[in-house]
Amino acid sequence: MIDKRLKKRELKAVDFFCGAGGVSCGFSQIGIKVLGGIDIDPKFKRTYEENNKAIFINEDVSNLEPRELANLLPLKRKDDDLIFVGCSPCQYYSNIKSDKKKSEGSRLLLEDFKDFVVYYKPGFVFIENVPGLETKAGSPLSRFKKSLKEMGYCFTQNTLNAKYFGVPQNRRRFILIATRLLDNITLPPQKQDKSSIITVKQAIGDYEKFPQVVNGYKDNSILQHSVARLSDLNLERMRSTPINGGNRFSWKNNKRLQLECYKNHDGHSDVYGRLYWDRPAPTITTRFIYTSTGRYSHPEQNRGLSLREGATLQSFPLDYHFYSTNQGVIATMIGNAVPPKLAEAIGSTLKNHWKKWLNL
C-alpha cells in the first residue's frame, strides 16, 4: 500500500536548459512530476512538450528574473518536494578541441542557474556537465558550491560513466546532487560488472526493430530510422573499412581514399571508424550522423548511424519523437541530451533520499 503521507506529497522538478528533454524523460519514467522545461532554443519546444506533456518555456535563463518564473510555473519558495535541474550547455568546458569562442557566452550559465537556486531554495538540486567543469580554469563551479554551503545544502559530486547506468554508450559526465533536507546525500553506485553493460549489438542489433537500410534512407515514420547521405567517396571509404570495429587505417595506403590531413598523422583513429558490436558506443555527439566526425559508421552496413539508432544509444524510448524536418537539428537534439537512463538513475537516488526524509 502507498503511505497516506506520500499520496499527499509529490516530488516535482523544473528542468533548466532542458533541450529536447532527456532529464525530463528519465524523471517522468520513475514518477517524478516535471513541471516544465526552460530553454533558449525554440526548436526544442514541440519535441519537449509532445513527449513530456510538460510546459516548455522559451526563455534565456540569463535574462529571466528568478521571481518571474513563479508566474510561468506553479512554484513556491523553499518547497521541500522540488528539484531544480541545471544541465547547462557544456561545450566551453569540453575536452574536445573546438572553437571556444562560439560557446564562450554559455560558460557562466551555472551562475545564472545559481540565482534561481538562491531565490527558491528547492529541496534538491542536480547538475550535469562535462568533467571539465570541475577542472578547467575559470569554472563557476567553486562559487556554486560555496553558495550551496552558505544556504545549508549538503552535496556530493563525481564523474560517472553513463554505461554503468543502462546507457549503451561510453559517456563520462560530471554529476553533482545537493539537498538541504538531510545531513548527507549519495550518488548511485556505478555497476561496473560486465554483465550490466549494454553493447551496441544489444541496443541496435535487432534488425526487426532496426531494419537494414541503405545510405541516405529517409524514414518518415515515428521510428525516424533516417540516415544521412554520404558522398560517393566516403561511401567507398566505408566499403573499404572492415566490419565490426574497422578504422581508416585499412585504406591509408590508397592514394585516392586517404585524406591529405591524415597522410602523416596516426591520431584520431576513430574518425571514419565502424562501431564494435560487442562494446558500448563512443560518446554520441551532435555530429553522430556524419562518419567523418568519429566512430559513427554502422558496424556492418555501409552507412552511418540512423537518427533512431543514435537516440537509442542515448537511451531514448523508441516512441520518443523528434520534431524537425532537418536531420542535423534532430541529431543536435539527440547528441546534446542527458541520456534518460542516466537521469532516471539520478532521479531514483533523489527520490530515495526524499522518502528517507519523509521517514517512508
Of residues 259 and 282, more confidence is placed in 282
357, 183 Cβ separation under 8 angstroms: no
- Determine the pLDDT at residue 193: 82
The span from the CA of 213 to the CA of 206, in Å, is 13
Q: How many domains does the chain have?
A: 1
Q: Residue 253 — φ and ψ, nearest 5°?
A: -95, 5
- Determine the pLDDT at residue 136: 57
DSSP state of 105: G
Residue 206: half-sphere exposure toward Cβ, Cα within 13 Å: 7
What pTM value is reported for the model? 0.92
Kindly state the average pLDDT of the residues 103-127: 85
Is 321 part of a structural domain of the chain? no
Is 174 part of a structural domain of the chain? yes
Q: How far is CA 269 from CA 94, 149, 245, 248, 281, in A?
A: 20, 44, 11, 7, 15
Domain of residue 100, residue span: 4-193+339-357
Of residues 32 and 195, more confidence is placed in 32
284-328 pLDDT per residue, tens? 999 999 999 999 999 999 999 999 999 999 999 999 999 999 999
Residue 268 has pLDDT above 80, yes or no: no
- Determine the pLDDT at residue 270: 85
> Is 90 noted as a catalytic residue in this protein?
yes
CB atoms within 10 A of CB 67: 12
240-260 pLDDT per residue, tens? 999 999 998 888 888 888 877
Is 61 part of a structural domain of the chain? yes
Is 85 part of a structural domain of the chain? yes
Kindly state the average pLDDT of the residues 180-207: 94
The cell numbers describing 334, all together, are 539527440
- Determine the pLDDT at residue 242: 96
Label the pairing between strands 55-58 and 12-16.
unpaired
- Determine the pLDDT at residue 199: 98
Q: Which of the following is catalytic: 18, 25, 90, 261? A: 90
219, 321 Cβ separation under 8 angstroms: no
Of residues 80 and 6, more confidence is placed in 80
42-79 pLDDT per residue, tens? 999 999 999 999 999 999 999 999 999 999 999 999 99
Is 106 part of a structural domain of the chain? yes
The span from the CA of 149 to the CA of 101, in Å, is 32
Is 121 part of a structural domain of the chain? yes
The span from the CA of 150 to the CA of 292, in Å, is 47
Q: Residue with C-alpha cell 519558495?
A: 77
Is 122 part of a structural domain of the chain? yes
Q: Which of 42-51, 127-136, 155-164, 302-311 has the lowest mean pLDDT?
A: 127-136
Is 269 part of a structural domain of the chain? no
State the CATH number of the domain containing residue 39. 3.40.50.150
Residue 225: half-sphere exposure toward Cβ, Cα within 13 Å: 13
DSSP state of 61: G
